[in-house]
A and B are shown apart, each in its own frame.
Chain A
Amino acid sequence: MNLLVTLITAGVTFGTVLMYGTLGEILTEKSGNLNLGVEGIMYMGGAFGLAGAFYYEKAVGAAASGPVAIVLALLAAFVAGCAASAIYSFLTITLRTNQNVTGLALSIFGTGVGQFVGEFMRLSEGGYVALSNHLKDSFAAAIMPDFLQGIPVIGPILFSHTVFFYMAVVLAVLMHLYFTRTRSGLYLRAVGESPATSDAAGINTTRYKYLATIIGGGISAIGGMVYIVTTAGCVWNHEGLSGVGWLAVALVIFCIWRPLNAIWGSVIFGAMMIMYLRVSLPFMPQQLYKILPYVVTVIVLIFTSMRNSRDKQPPASLGVNYFREER
């Protein structure tokens, strides 16, 4: 029981990172854009988020306040992600380039930029970039009141997390409501399913695709920032961040493109990724745990295509560009 609680709690920590990546990519893919640049976007988010908090602290010194640093880090990461996916959007939507290739190019570009900014900060600050303990604590602090955290079992599972986790949950719920309860959400889904039909119905497909992809990229980037300021301990760590973006792409499939599923899905994926440290199964080598998320995703992918039920499919136009004059 105790083991399960620690596993879930640790799963939530890493899962929060994935949840942002996944939610952003869900929003993007709902518009029919398959942005494979999430890996690069999350790198950029991580590097710029850290830079935001770091230079803020450098500017104001010991007076730096935790909440302000959090907001600045969030903003920096979000803007970096928006900028990265704006490149992707401009190329795929306006210049009609192939989505897969552009996404992979963005991955290369983004990991390069993230790594460059991380390295550059390290070099220009003389070897080591880290925030003060005061700010580190405010990033990693649990925000729920103590008496809630004190409840056995439920306390640690539900109430012991950072502000980022609860924000992600709220975001997931908001996105769910947006997709299912608003007209604009319906239009967005229509654009992802069939741009030609939406275009004929008078929906501005270009605008929906641009907005969804850019905002989605911004959300994904926050995930990278959250990784750096929580798991990595406010130090630029590109090794830990590598592969997280691809995992987020996998998670989108696992959640069958539904934001609410991302909440528990990301916790499961997070737990799977750290399980090898904590649980040993006699019949399975620990190294193979790490491929579990991908194997599970493949199985989900196969089953959804075999059963072919309409509500569990990828957006129909996913990965295909829409040109009005080329039908």
Chain B
Amino acid sequence: MSNVTRTPFVRLAKRTDIDPRRAWIIRVASIVIALVLGCIPMLVTGTNPVEAYSVIVQGSLLRPVYFRQTVKIAIPLLACALAIAPCFKMRFWNIGAEGQITIGAMCATYFALYWADRVPHVMLLLIMFLAGVVGGGLWALIPAFFKAKWNTNETLFTLMMNYIAIGIVAWLQGGPWEGRQGSQIIPKFADAARLPNVLGVHIGWIFSLVLVVLMYFYMNKTKQGYEIAVIGDSTNTARYAGMNVGYIMMRTMAISGAISGFVGFMIVAGANYTLYSGVADGVGFTAISVAWLSQLNPFAMIVISMLLAVLDKGSTTLQSRLGVPASVSDIITGILLFTMLSCEFFINYRLIFRGRAQDKEDGK
């Protein structure tokens, strides 16, 4: 018979038991490949990649001043990745963290601007915190409600909500909350509305690390975390088990939005001391990558967010010292995300090439 189907050149087989050490080798290799590919834009500008990378490391880690700035960049990334984790675990694609941060920052700013002379320091910060959390939570609840009720596509809905939030703040910035007429700038916060520093970085880093532990317990050790995992695997299973899927979705999104709102509060009260429309500055989007690359593991998020922060901070030093455009950090971040995303494929699947497979079937 001539119509014997030939073995394709390469086949896939699912790996069931991969040696964790080997999985880590693949992951580290993917980072190395990304860094090697990242040399291309540097070579284009005529910079020595080795020198460039050492400048990135020096400019982000090796001096206390730089290190503090790097940590400052990593804090919102980490906290926001924690916010996104439960949603993604539930396979609810919340890409609206950017908007939830913005609204949280906006609500906190209201009290910073108008209550600063009325309430004492700690009290004011507490009120701002609550405002941010409630604001972000409610903003996230809107798409969750429509998803639960009418199955409205949450990816597109949350995406649109980002730009509505940013637009509202842009309006406040040029209108009701504007400082000097025509400046388009909201005045800086009074000292009472600023977060204190601990070891040179605003206290948000302690909160974020606490949040890592809390989120780990929430996702892995509580009933609610279990419900989220079940819905993520199969909404039908969850329904048969008697879970109220719509309610759980809304609850999870409210929690997620609340944490994002808290991130917004941290950014305005700890880093910027003012509000502007670009307050989230892409954190909401980058945090999604952080969360996903960490495979929703809160502890891994610390590493990944630091890695991206190092690239971000280091590349500004790179621009000032070697004249390489700072956009190089976006390129390397992008490549890093690509390779780290793809490496999961090589962890989960085994490639079997034609020749070798034949040998195996012949009894080696």
Contacts and interface: CB of A to CB of B under 8 A. Distances in A.
A91 B338 contact: yes
B115 interface: no
A118 to B, nearest CB: 8
B45 A294 contact: no
A104 interface: yes
B325 A250 contact: no
B200 interface: no
Given A291-B167, A308-B150, A120 B157 contact: no
A285 interface: yes
Contacts of A250: 156, 159-160, 163
Given A119-B325, A287-B167, A298-B164, A109 B330 contact: yes
B285 interface: yes
Contact of B45 (A91, A97, A120): A120
A314 B153 contact: yes
Interface residues of A, number: 50
Which of A34, A106, A110, A287 has the most chain B CB within a 10 Å cutoff? A287
A95 B345 contact: yes
Interface stretch (A140-148, A190-198, A299-307): A299-307
A61 B285 CA distance: 43
Interface in B134-165: 146, 150-153, 155-157, 159-164
Contact of B338 (A96, A105, A116): A105
A290 interface: yes
Given A108-B333, A108-B337, A116 B327 contact: yes
A305 B153 contact: yes
B93 A319 contact: yes
Nearest to A113: B331
B327 A115 contact: yes
A143 to B, nearest CB: 34
Interface string A29-52: 000001010001000000000000
Interface stretch (B64-72, B169-177, B191-199, B230-238): B169-177
Nearest to B45: A120
B333 A112 contact: yes
Given A249-B156, A298-B161, A301-B156, A105 B45 contact: no
Interface of A: 34, 36, 40, 87, 91, 95-98, 100-102, 104-113, 115-116, 119-120, 123, 243, 246, 249-250, 253, 285, 287-288, 290-291, 294-295, 297-298, 301-302, 305-306, 308, 314, 318-319, 325
Closest A-B pairs by Cβ, 3 of them: A109-B334, A112-B330, A291-B167
Given A101-B288, A104-B288, A297-B160, 5 more contacts: A97-B341, A108-B333, A285-B175, A291-B167, A301-B152
17 contacts: A95-B345, A97-B341, A98-B292, A108-B282, A108-B330, A112-B334, A115-B330, A116-B327, A120-B325, A249-B159, A250-B160, A253-B156, A287-B170, A291-B164, A294-B167, A298-B164, A305-B146
